[in-house]
A and B are shown apart, each in its own frame.
Chain A
Amino acid sequence: MSIEIRGINKHFGNFQALKNIDLHIRSGELVALLGPSGCGKTSLLRIIAGLETPDTGSIVFHGEDVSSHDVRDRNVGFVFQHYALFRHMTVFDNVAFGLRMKPKKQRPSESVIASKVHELLNLVQLDWLADRYPEQLSGGQRQRIALARALAVEPKILLLDEPFGALDAKVRKELRRWLARLHEEVHLTSVFVTHDQEEAMEVADRIVVMNKGVIEQIGTPAEVYEKPASEFVYHFLGDSNRLQLAEDNHLLFRPHEVSLSRSAADEHRAAQVRDIRPLGAITRVTLQVDGQDELIEAEVAKDHGSLAGLVRGETLYFKPKAVLTPSGAVQHV
């Protein structure tokens, strides 16, 4: 089911949380809303679900304007940032809730509900926890139960608010791969919120980069990385260096797109080595350039020739291999 977001504006008091949001999400797509804290990601997700009413604009599901539809008529699966499991119900009852709330005529029998719940619990690999209460689960387990609960009513659209936010790095990684697989199996249209660019790049078909209530760019992970629409997007999608050329002229480039040399070379600039950090497969060298306070970071393979016997204070020559041009695209030089 496709989602069409048209001209959404939203104020909280005098503060404008969303400005003219237009976004088309195709059926079956997995889209990430990426942006810094407070940029309006949750607000947009809540507006799609119907939990919040926009000041202007409309939400269209598969050609049907649902702006005036109540939350319960939109049939949207929603996973909250902090799970929002029903604390006085067992895991089983949590997952069964949506089915039991159906009007009498559509409500399946208890035995059908039971088999459906166990099927979902198996899907999230937590069937053995059916009789526990939410408080007796770990964060990652709660997260998966919240997902199973949302999927029980067979929504066509799944919205996830920072689904992996509260988890440690390893569990996060596992869960997001698992989510990507699930998305393919169940075939939903999914939108998930994150402020972790790596997560967005790894899981999403397309990324919507937001900043201060506006959409900065919409594109595939490769597009937003290779052709950032603004300096903000460039910064947000990875580490970056700024090299001041003149008063009002600077270059932006990524630490791993730097060529290093021990001796003066063509187009290379001299810099002083401030720090050398071996980080496993790569080594990060921090450089100080004359004429700017901001340090430059360069990341090269740990066996790179320029590193042999390098010590702090030495002079090294560097040259950006790819820079962000003022016109937007990343240019390889």
Chain B
Amino acid sequence: MSIASATLAKDSAVRASVQRTPAALILIGLAWIIFAVVLLLPLYIVVTQGLQRGLDVFWNAISEPDAISALKLTLLATGISVPLNLVFGVAAAWCVTKFEFRGKSLLITLIDMPFSVSPVVAGLIYVLLFGSQGVFAPFLQAHDLQIVYAVPGIVLATIFVTFPFVARELIPLMEEQGTTEEEAARLLGANGWQMFWHVTLPNVKWALIYGVVLCTARAMGEFGAVSVVSGHIRGMTNTLPLHIEILYNEYNIVAAFSVAILLLAMALVILLLRQWSESRLSRSLVRDDE
């Protein structure tokens, strides 16, 4: 720890000396101006627009039944997809980094696919698979199951777009750490589960939390893929981002921005969690380097 704080102190000393040059001052000023115009101004507008008719109107907009149901659906989709992707991500990272097998590089590429495929295409894939004209349509109709334009479709689409976050965070770290600590644990009599729980997991703890935070942020904010499979049924298949869009398209600006404030507040909490886990992660990496 003392080493980490020493490094940090040295960093800020370096930064302080850089700040004094005029060029650096101009660049930093520019960065702040761009930051203000591109990020702070819109945030300011969202907040003032949402609150322009007072807190009562804001409160009504976010507590009306459709908004509540959208919030619930967003939380449900996030609540299902994040734990599933946590399990999947840990399993994938584990098998990619601790074992040698055929098709490994293909698997690593496939894990990344949701990053490279447009979310709209991802949504369409689910419609083509589970829609009324889709591949599984006869089976679904026979069993009276509805996936597309219903909650399961939204959950599936959210899982798809947030697929890589956890695995992506873990793979590089686990690759670097190698397998000798696991081997040492087995030699000392640990079974597979004990080895995972007492050795592997603590070694990747902060990267895991960071991955989960990123995954959560994306799951809450996902628009494209969810939009395609949702069907936009108010009170039924609307998530918060979709609800905002509907309100906005109906020229219900105040309500749209009010709900946006809600989503924004949730994102801020996640952002703070991310900041916290990131700093812990970099600190544990500094310790590993020593």
Contacts and interface: CB of A to CB of B under 8 A. Distances in A.
Nearest to A81: B180
Interface stretch (B126-134, B147-155, B184-192): B184-192
Interface of A: 49, 51, 70-72, 75-78, 80, 82, 84-89, 97-98, 101-102, 135, 149-150, 152-153
B189 A153 contact: yes
Contacts of B181: 84-87
B interface, over-half SS: helix
A88 B203 contact: yes
Given A101-B194, A135-B287, A78 B199 contact: no
28 contacts: A49-B187, A51-B183, A71-B183, A71-B186, A72-B186, A72-B187, A72-B190, A72-B191, A78-B183, A80-B180, A80-B184, A84-B180, A84-B184, A85-B184, A86-B184, A88-B202, A89-B202, A97-B188, A97-B198, A101-B185, A101-B188, A101-B189, A101-B190, A101-B191, A101-B194, A101-B198, A149-B188, A152-B188
A98 B180 contact: no
A273 B189 CA distance: 61
Nearest to A76: B187
Contacts of A149: 184, 188
Contacts of B203: 87-88
Contacts, number: 66
B188 A153 contact: yes
Nearest to B192: A72
Interface of B: 180-181, 183-191, 194, 198-199, 202-203, 205, 287-288, 290
A102 B12 CA distance: 48
Given A51-B187, A72-B189, 16 more contacts: A51-B186, A70-B186, A71-B183, A72-B188, A78-B183, A80-B184, A82-B180, A84-B181, A84-B183, A89-B202, A97-B188, A101-B190, A101-B191, A101-B194, A135-B287, A149-B184
A98 B183 contact: no
> Most chain-B Cβ atoms within 10 A of its Cβ — which of A49, A51, A82?
A51
Given A51-B183, A80-B180, A82-B180, A98 B287 contact: no
A161 B186 CA distance: 17
